[in-house]
Amino acid sequence: MTETGTVATPVRSPASPPVLGGLGLFTVLIGAALPLIDFFIVNVALPTMGQDLHASASVLELVIAGYGVSYAVLLVLGGRLGDLFGRRRLFLVGMAAFGLTSLACGLAPSAWTLVAARVAQGAASAAMLPQVLATIQSATAGPRRAKAMSLYGATAGLSMVAGQILGGVLIAADIAGTGWRAVFLVNVPVVILGLVLATRAVPETRSQHPEPIDGPGTVLLAIALLALLAPLTEGRAAGWPLWTWLSLALFPVAAAAFYFVERRADRRGRTPLVPPSLLALPSLRRGLVMIVPFSIGFSGFMFVIAVALQDGAGLGPVQAGLALAPMAAAFFVVSLCGPRLIARYGTRVVTAGGVVQAVGVALMALAAWRSWPDLGIWELVPGAAVAGAGQALQLPVLFRIILSEVPPARGGVGSGVMITTQQSALALGVATLGTLFLSLVPGHGMQDALVTTLLVQLAIGILTTGLSLRLPRTIS
């Protein structure tokens, strides 16, 4: 009671902002690791899959391409749905779907059933992964956000290398006679753990002003990405039929139509799938330009080295996977130093990383030229370790730069745009460098094909180093 006899009404404090704690961060990083591991884990499993399912080379390529294309096409939509319905909710739905589709992949009775399950698995990944970065952007701030972003970048890079190592170990272990199926079935217990943790530790976040789905933009983006990725991934194995050239010709038309539709929607006050105003952010735009060649070189190398070491050097899945262990170890160690290096030297750390990575790729090309066909773990150790260290100085920092100026309310859209760009480039890397390598093998032999492909990757590394000079000097 007050002095006048009236009842005092308690003043409600404004709702406290959501906070992502340590366990919650660990949980969403599981969600970040799973899709990337599954993109690369099949590289060392393809020969065994082909024998068991009696699958042709073109069908085996669809096992990779089907996942990558559906993943890339739906990522931006997944980010928008998280903004609209809640990121934690979409994360749970996507993770549960990822577990079910992983089970379907592991139990697939035929090659085409496996391809269909992989397409569905890619769609599940597209629902889950954008929520990771959007949650970090919305539920962390200041030094905690910088640390979380660095851990995300380290997790992403390490997952791409660890996928092939894990794939080789699981195939060789042949757990309960599952063979290659274990590379998919292993996801199921991890997903169950992730779902339990997510319900307890991941806060719900969403955009304060939910934006409706951009139907025309979604359709045009899907057409553009499919027109580019489908012929590049299937063209060589199919003999480059007419449809591949027609599809490639359609890509610039669909991309231009997408841009004009999005710009018109933005000018009319609507909310496009990829707002041009978002692309106007210098940090995001320049970071995206650099992440494209970086991801093309990275994924192309991972595919080519897996094929060359197994089919050319005669290594088994375990040896082929473990040949990349020095790269993974160096990436992990150096990535832990990233935040301190950035605080001291700014984004020129990325430039230094490009130089270091180029040296590592050159050392691996030299090892392939001098040691073939006895190319193995010890011959690759120096180059792989140096390249891994260089990659660790680039990838985590690039993620931070790209999203540094994106408003939290548009976190889902921003992360979706970034991951779509990265995933499309990963698929392009397998398609372009993989096609180059496999096309050179019949006429020039495995050694020359490998050395040539590594030299192309070296040129790509030099390009990314040059592009890094245009990045902002500091991260806001």
Residue 113 has φ and ψ, to the nearest 5°, of -65, -40
| pLDDT block averages, 10 residues each, the chain of length 476 | 45 61 92 88 82 81 81 82 88 96 94 93 92 86 82 81 82 84 93 95 80 81 86 81 94 93 83 79 88 89 85 79 83 81 83 93 92 83 91 86 78 76 83 86 87 92 90 74
For position 248, what pLDDT does the model report? 94
For position 196, what pLDDT does the model report? 96
DSSP-derived 3-state class of residue 209 = coil
Return the percent helix, strand and coil in the chain, to nearest 5: 80, 0, 20
Inter-residue contact 426 to 230 (CB < 8 Å): no
For position 125, what pLDDT does the model report? 93
pLDDT tens sequence across 307-357 = 888 888 777 777 877 888 888 888 888 887 777 887 788 888 899 999 999
In 147-169, which positions are buried (b, 16+ CB within 10 angstroms) versus exposed (e)?
Answer: ebbbbbbbbbbbbbbbbbbbbbb
Q: What are the start-end ranges of the H helices in 174-241? A: 182-185, 187-201, 215-238
DSSP for 300-322, written as a single string: HHHHHHHHIIIIIS---HHHHHH
For position 225, what pLDDT does the model report? 85
For position 442, what pLDDT does the model report? 85
How far is residue 270's CA from residue 272's CA, in Å, rounded to a whole number? Answer: 6
Q: What is the pTM of this model?
A: 0.81
For position 476, what pLDDT does the model report? 62
Quote the radius of gyration of the chain (alpha carbons, Å): 23
For position 253, what pLDDT does the model report? 96
